[in-house]
């Protein structure tokens, strides 16, 4: 603001006002005289008006150009004045804040960190450091920025936790979250607020008292122009007021500039309009001018200072000295020296504006980078993976993008909220998709848990079973089923697996133990069968068919009574059957008859065992063989139709016919075996019924 722009003067300045008013009134009068046209000119104008049309148009155009040029110059000047006023006002506002407390200047020395890129934990740590080590009045802007960034990050974090809570089946109204970081932040911020309130409570009282004191000094200063006393005494009194003013202390920042302007205004009135000793006044004016020239030169030199913040702080100090420590200069010097000082201030303002424009360009680049990051997050959110490993990879990608977003720096203030909102929404969309995936996965895992529990219960029911033929394949089946079932919730995974594994191990360990015990018996059976086979090899037919058949049947009965042998020794059975078949052939017993003779011994064993389950299993086995033979005959006869045009002597045709005959023989054999089994079973049932009736008759007789 121009030093000459002062508040309205009080009534004591009537002389100046009258003089200015008189001068202002003279100009309109001259204008009126000049504007009066004579009658002759009017008549001449009327006479030549038709011929002067083009001249008038040209004159109008010229007038319009002059008007536009004048208006453009005026606008340019107004703009320059406004820029100059803005530059000075910026300095005044900074000085007004610093004037409240000398410690306020310290705020310019405390680094303003990139709080946007800090985590919540680091923000709490920085706040603790500031509150502990710095003056509370010097960190207001720092704390405000820290709180803004912390609130944004915590709100995003809280929404993420709420989404997880709801995704896990919780109700939004029941959501509560206790954050240690948030609690620490509130404690430190509460300490800051308490210190700040106490500081300003004490400061406010002092500032008000100082303001009243300074206003009183101004009133005394105003009264000096009406004092009827010796000039030297008045001047001495004036100097005392100046000294009291210098030590009057700070005032509220809202009143700072107005109070100083009013003070300077009345100081100038004192110098200009009192009949002071010219020598004293000129001496003061000269000293003040020299000091102000020094300030101006220092201000102009700041243009070469590379550290812009340092230069601005220095200029701020120069303005404070100009305002508070140096008095007025001679009237004819005031406008020039102030214009020079303002010009240097405007140059600094221009440098700052250029710096801010560079920052704005940097912020635009940051905005571009952040928008790209937001697009990447959106792309991930729109393509949520369908498996756990993929989701975990996407979570890492999102975390990397979040870090990159915060490290990208500030964006233009006008789009700051919109950019943050877009970022937060993109991250929230990803979290919702991720939570939906894990919610469905959790349901699937619970279903898997129920399936595995069912298998566990089945394994527990079979682990002590003695029916190895049934239990062993069933245990193997449920083990395969277990492998096919997916994951279960982590908290149940180990427990249910250990229980299932223990049940399976219990069963198979028992089987292996029994098998080890039976191995010795099987080896003994093998030795007995080997001896039986050796005797069979030495057997000679007597020529009497019935006698020889009886001997052969004894060998077959002995062989089947010897029980199981080791699996790797089962080839001995084939050797035995081969010799038996050769003996039957020598006795003219066909294959079917030989099979039935062998089977007769098995029928006897089943009858003697009195095991209904074994008989049932045998029937099932024979029926399956009958069906297999029928299917094979049907298939072979179908194949034979393909050779309808071939000769019956064809080896292929003859081979198929032989296979059909063999299968038919086998089918008849199996049917006969089933018939014999049914006869045996009916006989057993009749015998059982007879025994039961006999038992009942005996009971009745008793």
pLDDT for 628 equals 87
Rounded (to 5) percent helix, strand, coil in the chain? 85, 0, 15
CA distance 344 to 499: 87
450 within a domain of the structure (yes/no): no
Last residue of a domain, one of 440, 466, 501: 440
pLDDT for 608 equals 63
CA atoms within 13 A on the CB side of 185: 22
Tokens 């008006």 -> residue: 49
Both tokens of 193, joined, read: 């607020």
pLDDT for 588 equals 79
Is residue 117 within 8 A of residue 406, CB to CB? The reply is: yes
pTM of this prediction? 0.44
Last residue of a domain, one of 396, 420, 440: 440
493 within a domain of the structure (yes/no): no
125 within a domain of the structure (yes/no): no
331 within a domain of the structure (yes/no): yes
55 within a domain of the structure (yes/no): no
**H or E stretch covering 398:** helix 388-407
Closest-CA residue to 302 (of 350, 246, 374, 368): 350
Last residue of a domain, one of 440, 469, 487: 440
CA distance 18 to 490: 96
- The per-type count for the chain, helices as H runs and strands as E runs, is 20, 0
Is residue 137 within 8 A of residue 103, CB to CB? The reply is: yes
Q: Give the range of the structural domain holding residue 659, as residue numbers without chain letter.
A: 593-702
pLDDT for 26 equals 33
Closest-CA residue to 281 (of 334, 225, 328): 328
Considering Cα of 563, then 567, then 571, then 577, what sign does the dihedral take? positive
CB count, 10 Å around CB of 375?
11
473 within a domain of the structure (yes/no): no
700 within a domain of the structure (yes/no): yes
Q: Dump the DSSP string for 500-569.
A: HHHHHHHHHHHHHHHHHHHHHHHHHHHHHHHHHHHHHHH----S-HHHHHHHHHHHHHHHHHT----GGG
- Residue 185 class from Cβ within 10 Å (0-12 exposed, 13-18 middle, 19+ buried)? buried
pLDDT for 454 equals 92
Mean pLDDT by 10 residues, the chain (702 residues): 33 32 32 34 34 42 49 54 60 60 63 83 91 85 89 85 76 83 91 86 80 87 75 81 84 82 82 62 84 89 85 84 82 88 86 86 90 93 88 90 88 88 89 84 86 91 84 90 88 90 89 73 86 89 84 84 81 87 81 66 62 74 85 83 70 81 82 78 69 59 52
Is residue 596 within 8 A of residue 672, CB to CB? The reply is: yes
pLDDT for 408 equals 87
Closest-CA residue to 116 (of 314, 369, 470, 361): 369
CA distance 339 to 5: 12
Alpha helices in 610-650 (DSSP H): 612-641
Query: Within its chain, how far is the Cα of 122 from the centroid?
Result: 19
In the chain, the number of structural domains is: 2
End-to-end CA distance of the chain: 139
360 within a domain of the structure (yes/no): yes
**H or E stretch covering 118:** none
CA distance 465 to 472: 9
């Amino acid at each position: 603001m121009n030093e000459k722009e002062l508040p309205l003067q009080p009534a004591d300045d009537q002389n100046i006002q009258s003089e200015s008013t008189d001068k202002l009134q003279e100009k309109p009068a001259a204008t009126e005289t000049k504007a009066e046209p004579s009658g002759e000119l009017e008549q001449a104008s009327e006479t030549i008006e038709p011929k002067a049309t083009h001249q008038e148009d040209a004159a109008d155009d010229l007038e319009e150009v002059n008007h536009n040029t004048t208006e453009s110059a005026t606008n340019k000047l107004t703009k320059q004045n406004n820029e100059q006023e803005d530059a000075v006002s910026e300095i005044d506002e900074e000085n007004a804040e610093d004037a409240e407390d000398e410690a306020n200047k310290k705020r310019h020395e405390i680094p303003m960190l990139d709080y946007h890129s800090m985590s919540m934990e680091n923000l709490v740590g920085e706040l603790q450091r500031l509150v502990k080590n710095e003056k509370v009045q010097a960190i207001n802007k720092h704390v405000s920025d820290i709180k803004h960034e912390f609130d944004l990050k915590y709100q995003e974090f809280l929404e993420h936790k709420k989404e997880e809570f709801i995704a896990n089946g919780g109700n939004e109204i029941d959501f509560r979250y206790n954050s240690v970081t948030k609690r620490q932040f509130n404690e430190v911020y509460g300490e800051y607020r308490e210190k700040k309130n106490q500081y300003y409570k004490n400061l406010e009282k002092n500032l008000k008292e100082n303001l009243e004191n300074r206003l009183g000094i101004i009133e005394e200063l105003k009264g000096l122009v009406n004092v009827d006393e010796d000039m030297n005494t008045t001047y001495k009194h004036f100097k005392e007021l100046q000294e009291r003013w210098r030590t009057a202390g700070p005032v509220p920042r809202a009143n700072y500039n107005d109070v100083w302007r009013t003070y300077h205004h009345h100081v100038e009135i004192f110098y200009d309009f009192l009949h002071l000793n010219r020598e004293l006044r000129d001496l003061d004016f000269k000293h003040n001018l020299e000091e102000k020239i020094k300030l101006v030169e220092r201000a102009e030199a700041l243009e070469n200072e590379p550290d812009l913040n340092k230069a601005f702080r220095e200029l701020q100090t120069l303005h404070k000295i100009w305002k508070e420590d140096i008095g007025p200069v001679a009237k004819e010097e005031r406008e020039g020296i102030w214009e020079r000082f303002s010009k240097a201030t405007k140059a600094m303002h221009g440098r700052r504006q250029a710096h801010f424009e560079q920052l704005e360009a940097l912020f635009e680049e940051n905005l571009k980078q952040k928008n790209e990051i937001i697009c990447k997050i959106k792309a991930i959110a729109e393509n949520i993976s369908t498996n756990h490993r993929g989701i975990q990879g996407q979570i890492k990608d999102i975390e990397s993008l979040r870090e990159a977003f915060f490290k990208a720096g500030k964006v233009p203030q006008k789009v700051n909220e919109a950019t943050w909102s877009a970022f937060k929404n993109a991250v929230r969309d990803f979290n919702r998709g991720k939570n939906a995936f894990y919610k469905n996965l959790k349901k699937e895992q619970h279903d898997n848990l129920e399936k595995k529990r069912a298998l566990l219960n089945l394994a527990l029911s079979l682990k002590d079973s003695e029916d190895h033929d049934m239990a062993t394949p069933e245990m193997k089946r449920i083990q395969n089923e277990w492998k096919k079932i997916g994951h279960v919730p982590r908290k149940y995974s180990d427990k249910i697996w250990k229980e299932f594994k223990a049940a399976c191990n219990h069963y198979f360990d028992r089987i292996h133990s029994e098998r080890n015990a039976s191995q010795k018996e099987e080896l003994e059976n093998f030795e007995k069968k080997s001896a039986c086979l050796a005797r069979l090899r030495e057997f000679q037919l007597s020529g009497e068919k019935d006698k020889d058949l009886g001997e052969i049947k004894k060998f077959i009965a002995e062989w089947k009574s010897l029980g199981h042998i080791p699996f790797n020794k089962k080839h001995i059975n084939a050797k035995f059957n081969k010799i038996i078949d050769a003996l039957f052939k020598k006795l003219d017993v066909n294959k079917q008859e030989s099979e039935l003779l062998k089977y007769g011994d098995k029928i006897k064993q089943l009858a003697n065992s009195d095991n209904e389950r074994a008989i049932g299993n045998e029937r099932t086995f024979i029926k399956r063989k009958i069906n297999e033979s029928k299917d094979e005959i049907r298939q072979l006869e179908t194949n034979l139709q393909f050779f309808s045009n071939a000769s019956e002597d064809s080896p292929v045709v003859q081979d198929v016919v032989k296979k059909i005959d063999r299968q038919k023989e086998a089918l008849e054999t199996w049917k006969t075996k089933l018939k014999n089994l049914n006869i045996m079973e009916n006989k057993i049932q009749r015998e059982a019924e007879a025994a039961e009736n006999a038992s009942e008759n005996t009971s009745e007789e008793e």
